[in-house]
A and B are shown apart, each in its own frame.
Chain A
């Protein structure tokens, strides 16, 4: 339980996240995302959420990013394409930045609202057992729905990825 470490690791995640969204090359962005996810998992471990940290590394950094890597391999990485991507990045980032800042303002500022939690922080670690008891106890329905979601995603991905004439307009 080391909040300071968690903070540092989180800061690293934030910096690398900034790099993710500003890189021209997809490969670079992917690498920086990996950094983000890993530093986040470190942050999780520091916060005592070891199951989450582990899951972050295994599933996110491992499984999900692996899928990304497969796709990224098909991307055109020629200098010309990079140049185009850079040119696109250079323009029209102001409105999104403004909107993002606008979202940030209330989220940052909004503290101490009526009824806000004033209890003292405990900072206890949560074991995987507790998590398992919760997930397969009261949250069982949620887990079932989540599994349905995954199934739907699977079938959708299968359907979309199928070769053949695209349906609908295009």
Chain B
């Protein structure tokens, strides 16, 4: 593993995260926002794995497992919320849920 490829992988992971972030911010459909969140989480997973590989350390993969658990929990709650919200609001438009303003 060369220094360059390590840097490239790290940049890649950053780019993945930012793409996910963009998706969360740009999309209005709640489901796609959730998918984008998965993408965003993929970025850090790649970064941890890359770093773990670089240092030959199990901590990277351990952190990946944690992210996985986090993603699972998030998806479970997120989807449940989505289903719940769809009863009262338009599930395709998160902007319609603006009662926090008041």
Contacts and interface: CB of A to CB of B under 8 A. Distances in A.
Direct contact of A and B (CB under 8 A): yes
A81 B76 CA distance: 25
Interface in B1-45: 1-3, 5-9, 11-16, 18-23, 25-29, 31-32, 34-36, 38-39, 42, 45
The 9 A-B residue pairs whose C-beta atoms are closest, nearest first, are A21-B23, A123-B1, A96-B25, A153-B73, A124-B56, A160-B80, A3-B5, A157-B80, A96-B26
Contact of B61 (A75, A126, A158): A126
Chain A interface extent, by class: 35 or more
9 contacts: A14-B19, A21-B27, A33-B39, A72-B31, A93-B26, A95-B25, A99-B25, A121-B54, A142-B62
Q: Is the interface of A mostly helix, strand, loop or mixed?
A: helix
B72 A59 contact: yes
Interface of A: 1, 3-4, 6-7, 10-11, 13-14, 17-18, 20-21, 23, 26, 29-30, 33, 36-37, 40, 43-44, 47-49, 51-52, 55-56, 59-60, 63-64, 67-68, 71-72, 74-76, 81, 84-85, 88-89, 92-93, 95-97, 99-101, 103-104, 107-108, 111, 119-126, 130-131, 133-135, 139, 142, 146, 149-150, 152-154, 156-161, 166, 169-170
